[in-house]
Structure 1
Amino acid sequence: MDWRAWHQQYDDPGSELSGRLLTVQAQLRAALDRAPAGPIPVIKLCAGQGRDLLGVLVDHPRRDDVRARLVELDPELAAVAREHAPPQVEVVTGDASLTEQYDGFVPAEVVLLCGIFGNITNADIQRTIAGSRQFCRTGATVIWTRHRGDPDVVPSICDWFETSGFERVWVSAKEVGFGVGVHRFTGVPEPLVKGQSLFSFVPGGV
């Protein structure tokens, strides 16, 4: 997969990817709005160019409360994110599947799992959801995406979250053509276990 070419779809306002981005940004704004007073730690796995978070931080009233770590394996995509990131956003070039990448930023208030679930196996989706209990403070928001092509796994993803200590906040309608979900962690944060790999990308996606 040429991820740099893939990201060019964001520049087409009529593309499905642009629509998904706007939806994620709207849900992220809402998550920041309801975050408790004080610092707002955010982590983003497989961050790409970081457009969702960085676009919101341009004008969100609580932008100065956010401290974030974005992890992206592709050095060119990470460089784009780093170029546009404000000082409180750290961009790491590295393997986002590794739990130790988030040491010092978890438990977080917002966890972004966008652009991942359409590229990994169902078993890895379940492993990532379970692993997210290490990333979340109680009450944290997880925003995730998955395409709605056959087989449509979005209903199963919701079930996997909801049997892992998360409650559903919002899920986009199937008719819009893409899946964006929001879940809130209601459990007790688990200690971060370093050395775990939560997922591996499947060539060509799933």
Structure 2
Amino acid sequence: MDWSTWHDKYDVADSWMARRLRTVQAQIRASLNDAPAGPLKVISLCAGDGRDLLRVLSDHPRRHEVRARLVELDARNTAAASEAARLAKLDRVEVVTGDASLIDQYQDMVPADLVLICGVFGNISDSDIEHTIAACNQLCKTGGTVIWTRNRAVPDRVPMICDWFGEQGFELQWLSEPVAGFGVGVHRFTGTPRPLRTGSRLFEFVGYDVLRERETAQPG
């Protein structure tokens, strides 16, 4: 999968990807608007070219209060994100070319006010989704927000994802309607952050195409 050209689909105005992006951006804006006064920390896992967060920050009144780290493995995407941050004069945004599944990437940025897990849950196994959600109490501060996405292809995993967040002390704040054709969820952490378990891996990024092949290959 070419994860750089994959982003071109966001530029098709009425595509589901463009509509999902606008939805995520609206929820990021709302989260920043509602966050307590003072400095804010944001982390983005598998950030791609960062257009979800960076385009919100570019004109947000709290742009200079936000310290952000975007972690993405594809160097072309991180180059685009770095350039976008530079042009928007977002000097508190750090773009890291690296494996976003390694929890050490976020060591000095957690617990964060906002955690973005967009474009991840559709590309990893169910067990890794659950594992990643279970680790969110290491990433998110009390009262902080996680914004996540997941496709709603059959079998729809969105209800299960909401249940897993609930089991970890996260309250559902907002969820896109099934008719939207995609899943965007917003959860707020009500528990107490746990110490970061350094050296651990959150997930294996498999890719939705490989996952789909595995599902169709299963008997029955």
Q: Normalising to structure 2: TM-score of the pair?
A: 0.92
CA contact (8 A) 1:118 1:205 kept: no
Q: Which runs of 5+ in 1 are unaligned?
A: none
CA offset digits 1:77-112 (Å, max 9, x no partner): 111001111211000000000000001111000000
Q: Name 1:3's counterpart in structure 2.
A: 3
CA contact (8 A) 1:120 1:205 kept: no
Q: Name 1:60's counterpart in structure 2.
A: 60
Q: Name 2:143's counterpart in structure 1.
A: 139
Q: Name 2:28's counterpart in structure 1.
A: 28
Q: Name 1:69's counterpart in structure 2.
A: 69
Identity of aligned residues (%): 61
SS in 1 for 2:4: helix
Question: Larger C-alpha radius of gyration, 1 or 2?
Answer: 2
Q: 1:186 aligns with which of 185, 190, 204?
A: 190
Deviation at 1:196, TM superposition (A): 0.6
Partner Cα distance (1:13, 1:108) in 2: 32
Q: Name 1:42's counterpart in structure 2.
A: 42
CA RMSD of aligned residues (A): 0.8
Deviation at 1:39, TM superposition (A): 0.5
SS in 2 for 1:41: strand
Deviation at 1:205, TM superposition (A): 4.9
Q: Which runs of 5+ in 2 are unaligned?
A: 212-220
Q: AA paired with 1:133?
A: N
Please state if 1:202 is matched with 2:211.
Answer: no
**Structure 1 144/205 Cα, relative in aligned 2: closer, same or farther at 3 Å?**
farther
Partner Cα distance (1:16, 1:162) in 2: 27
Q: How does 1:40-189 map to 2 (within 5 A)?
A: 40-85=40-85, 86-189=90-193
CA offset digits 1:91-150 (Å, max 9, x no partner): 000000000000111100000000000000010000000111100110000000000101
Partner Cα distance (2:32, 2:20) in 1: 18
Please state if 1:15 is matched with 2:15.
Answer: yes
Partner Cα distance (1:93, 1:135) in 2: 19
CA contact (8 A) 1:51 1:81 kept: yes
Q: AA paired with 1:89?
A: V
**Structure 1 121/198 Cα, relative in aligned 2: closer, same or farther at 3 Å?**
same
Partner Cα distance (2:38, 2:178) in 1: 36
Partner Cα distance (2:169, 2:210) in 1: 27
Deviation at 1:193, TM superposition (A): 1.2
Deviation at 1:192, TM superposition (A): 0.9
**Aligned residue-pair number:** 206
Partner Cα distance (1:68, 1:93) in 2: 14
